[in-house]
């Protein structure tokens, strides 16, 4: 897989893909990672990245560990990223702290404003949240995938309550996306999806 011409060592790539192949991954699987990377490439062709390699690694590892209902998935994924970079890319000049920071920020989706983070972090978080502005059928598949991941971990009524609350909070925000780039491209579609989903 390539992004900004960076190719991972084969063993690192295999280990990463194995993490995303763990059971109960209806949405947070490697297809999601590839979709995020596609948005990262769109940014690269638009406003660009200051730290493209760090963004790529953060995108690759941001959901490497995912157990529905746990609050430490992002922190554990960041630890996995740090250890993988130290193991397989020790001399590549990667800013490991930046990779960790970007991954950990994904735990705060919906709670951050543009003023809380730098412009590159805003673009990165928006790449992860761009699914909200996807075509209706793609959005619906994402929403169903999240429900499937939580099934058996959280009672259905509680999941539906919390999910609706999260989506409603997003819809009420003056800006769903933190960056001007994604706001212009996806805000209207995201609001249409959220309104349809909330009913």
pLDDT at res. 2: 45
Nearest to 124 by CA among 107, 109, 102: 102
Q: Is the dihedral of CA 85, 90, 94, 96 positive or negative?
A: positive
Band of residue 23 on the pLDDT scale cut at 50, 70, 90: confident
What value does the mean pLDDT take over residues 21-40? 94
The tokens for 81 are 């990223």
pLDDT exceeds 80 at position 3:
no
Band of residue 186 on the pLDDT scale cut at 50, 70, 90: very high
DSSP secondary structure letters along 156-180: HHHHHHHHHHHHHHHHHSS-SSSSH
Q: What is the pLDDT of residues 114-148, one digit of tens each?
A: 999 999 999 999 999 999 999 999 999 999 999 99
The Cα–Cα gap between 19 and 1 comes to 16
């Amino acid at each position: 897989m390539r992004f900004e011409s960076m190719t991972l060592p084969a063993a690192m790539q295999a280990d990463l893909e194995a993490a995303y192949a763990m059971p109960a991954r209806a949405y947070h699987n490697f297809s999601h990672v590839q979709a995020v990377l596609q948005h990262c490439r769109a940014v690269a062709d638009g406003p660009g990245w200051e730290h493209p390699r760090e963004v790529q690694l953060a995108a690759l590892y941001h959901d490497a560990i995912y157990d529905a209902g746990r609050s430490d998935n992002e922190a554990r994924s960041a630890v996995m990223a740090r250890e993988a970079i130290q193991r397989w890319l020790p001399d590549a000049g990667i800013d490991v702290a930046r990779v960790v920071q970007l991954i950990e920020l994904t735990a705060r989706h919906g709670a951050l404003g543009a003023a809380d983070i730098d412009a590159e972090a805003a673009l990165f978080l928006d790449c992860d949240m761009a699914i909200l502005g996807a075509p209706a059928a793609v959005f619906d598949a994402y929403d169903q995938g999240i429900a499937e991941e939580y099934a058996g971990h959280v009672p259905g009524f509680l999941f539906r309550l919390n999910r609706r609350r999260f989506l409603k909070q997003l819809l009420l925000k003056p800006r769903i996306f933190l960056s001007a780039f994604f706001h212009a491209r996806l805000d209207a579609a995201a609001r249409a999806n959220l309104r349809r989903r909330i009913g």
